[in-house]
Chain A
Amino acid sequence: AQSVAQPEDQVNVAEGNPLTVKCTYSVSGNPYLFWYVQYPNRGLQFLLKYITGDNLVKGSYGFEAEFNKSQTSFHLKKPSALVSDSALYFCAVRDSHSGTYKYIFGTGTRLKVLA
């Protein structure tokens, strides 16, 4: 069975500081990993994905994430946070080997960037 965990309900960071939003996953095969962002009263928007290849993936709005197979993690990072980055962030996983179609989402981490 596939699962994904976001251990922090909320992350607070000062504007200009680096940010990290954590995600760990569990799948039986190789993972397809995604990060999405949700602004108030909106649908989820794609940020970045890892399918295969380079462990460091770069995405929209200056975000990046590092796939770490040994730690089964896919943490989202940004070198310098902006107030406008404040939103709800979701990590998602799909197991490439199980034949499943569904993406499983984490419980979300609310990022608050303080001016």
Chain B
Amino acid sequence: EPEVTQTPSHQVTQMGQEVILRCVPISNHLYFYWYRQILGQKVEFLVSFYNNEISEKSEIFDDQFSVERPDGSNFTLKIRSTKLEDSAMYFCASSESRNEKLFFGSGTQLSVL
């Protein structure tokens, strides 16, 4: 079965530093998402991306966050100046159409010190 791949699997950074989390969605998928999970429990929506633009974002997704699909295959999440509370597992997901199931990557565990 096709997979969503995410790199790195773990990222440790100092507070205030910029991080970029990378994702390669499934090749024929059109809808892309970032979610995060804190302490292995609640899964929170961050942003959805369709047709090369943000289609929806949550209150968490403030000016410190941005997303890009720079080359038609990668999908990145940038956090400009990390805070302690950004520590979480970040999941990328993609889907073929708007009502179809999401395929999730294995996640990037971000630790902000």
Asked if residues A42 and B106 are in contact (CB atoms below 8 Å), the reply is yes
Contacting pair B98 A101 (CB below 8 A)? yes
B101 touches A34 (CB 8 A): yes
A88 within 8 A of B: yes
A43–B43 contact, CB under 8 A? no
Which of B13-21, B48-56, B80-88 lines the interface with chain A?
B48-56
**With A and B bound together, what is the CA distance between A46 and B96 in angstroms?**
14
In the complex, which residues 46-67 of chain B have their Cβ closer than 8 Å to any Cβ of chain A?
A: 48, 50, 55-56, 58
B105 neighbours in A (Cβ, 8 Å): 43
- Cβ of A102 under 8 Å from chain B: yes
Report if A45 contacts B (CB, 8 A). yes
- C-alpha gap A100/B45 in the complex (Å): 12
**Interface stretch (choices A14-22, A62-70, A71-79, A103-111):** A103-111
Name the interface residues of B17-46: CB closer than 8 Å to any CB of A: 31, 33, 35, 40-45
Question: CB within 8 A of B102: which of A44, A88, A108?
Answer: A44
Once the chains bind, are B103 and A101 in contact (CB under 8 Å)?
no
Chain B, 91-107, contact with A by CB distance < 8 Å: what is the 0/1 string? 10100001101111111
Give residues of chain A (26-54) contacting chain B, Cβ–Cβ below 8 Å.
32, 34, 36, 41-46, 49, 51
Residues of B within 8 A of A94 (CB): 99
Question: Which of A44, A46, A51 lies in contact with B43, CB distance below 8 A?
Answer: A44
Residues of A within 8 A of B45 (CB): 102-105
Given contacts A45-B104, A46-B101, A51-B99, contact A101 B31 (CB under 8 A): yes
Task: Take A44-B43, A44-B91, A107-B42 as given contacts and tell me if A102 and B106 are in contact as well, using a CB distance cutoff of 8 Å.
Answer: no
A102, B79: Cα distance in complex, Å: 20
Chain B residues within 8 Å of A102, by CB: 33, 45, 48, 56, 58
Tell me the B residues contacting A by CB distance below 8 Å: 4, 31, 33, 35, 40-45, 48, 50, 55-56, 58, 91, 93, 98-99, 101-107
* Chain A residues within CB distance 8 Å of chain B: 32, 34, 36, 41-46, 49, 51, 88, 90, 94, 96, 100-105, 107-108
